[in-house]
């Protein structure tokens, strides 16, 4: 882990940043001038991702570990606290569940519990811990959702239920933090060609799915919106256009 040395102007933290959407988004944020804290369970893959992110010429701080573990969340807080601020927290780390996917009628309780622990409890716990740093700069919290949260797709029950719960957590936090300057949104990035999506369809060809880079226009749009105006909304990153309804 790189030690923070200078207080940066903007800091982002992205979990699940060793590959896929997390790595793509972290690289995008680095190109926008954010110092970036990245986290994932796979130490080697995270190191490779961090090296790619650092090519943008910004400080990158790599924190390997399972975000579902309190010790990992404590380390993430320590790094952000040394940097003195947190402008953007992206809760992207997710657990799919067993592969191949299993129907709810066949799913073991311990597998369901693991999905809920990573996809719901961990993002909330990390947000709670980091909230003072986010609040101090009127920052943003982004929780990564899924179309499975509203689809009821066979085999996706545990993952979908966890993302539906995360959507409600996001909305509730947005209401609770209204007026504090902290923005909370949830984002469905849509189907993408990622390792997680491949794990959901083992042995199948998913080359027709777009790469995570397809979402970059959305992130550029979101980061240019008034944080308070978008707070409490759920966005689909692969929509043709994005709008914020009038209050």
- Which residue numbers are catalytic? 159
Pair 134, 79: CB distance under 8 Å: no
CA max distance for the chain:
53
Residues 6+ apart with CB under 8 A from 7: 83, 84, 85
* Paired tokens of 88: 């953007």
- Report the DSSP pairing between strands 11-15 and 35-40: parallel
Overall residue count recorded for the chain in this entry: 247
- Residue 139, SS3 per DSSP: coil
What's the DSSP call for residue 66?
A: -
Residue from 18, 54, 57, 37 nearest 133 by CA: 37
Angle at 83 between CA 82 and CA 89, to 5 degrees: 115
């Amino acid at each position: 882990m790189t030690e923070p040395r200078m207080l940066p102007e903007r800091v982002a933290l992205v979990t699940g940043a060793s590959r896929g959407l997390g790595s793509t988004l972290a690289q995008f944020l680095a190109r926008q001038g954010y110092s970036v804290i990245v986290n994932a369970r796979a130490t080697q893959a995270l190191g490779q991702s961090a090296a790619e992110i650092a090519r943008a010429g910004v400080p990158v701080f790599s924190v390997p570990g399972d975000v579902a573990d309190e010790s990992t969340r404590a380390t993430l807080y320590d790094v952000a606290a040394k940097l003195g601020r947190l402008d953007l927290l992206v809760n992207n780390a997710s657990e799919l569940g067993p592969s191949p996917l299993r129907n709810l009628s066949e799913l073991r309780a311990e597998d369901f519990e693991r999905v809920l622990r990573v996809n719901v409890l961990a993002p909330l716990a990390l947000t709670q811990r980091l909230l003072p740093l986010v609040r101090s700069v009127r920052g943003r919290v982004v929780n990564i959702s899924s179309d499975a949260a509203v689809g009821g797709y066979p085999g996706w029950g545990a993952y979908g239920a966890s993302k539906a719960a995360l959507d409600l957590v996001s909305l509730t936090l947005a209401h609770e933090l209204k007026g504090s300057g902290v923005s909370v949104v949830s984002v469905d990035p849509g189907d993408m060609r990622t390792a997680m999506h491949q794990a959901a369809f083992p042995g199948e060809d998913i080359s027709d799915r777009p790469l995570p880079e397809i979402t970059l226009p959305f992130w550029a749009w979101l980061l240019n919106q008034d944080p308070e105006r978008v707070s409490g909304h759920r966005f689909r990153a692969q929509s043709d256009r994005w709008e914020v309804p009038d209050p």
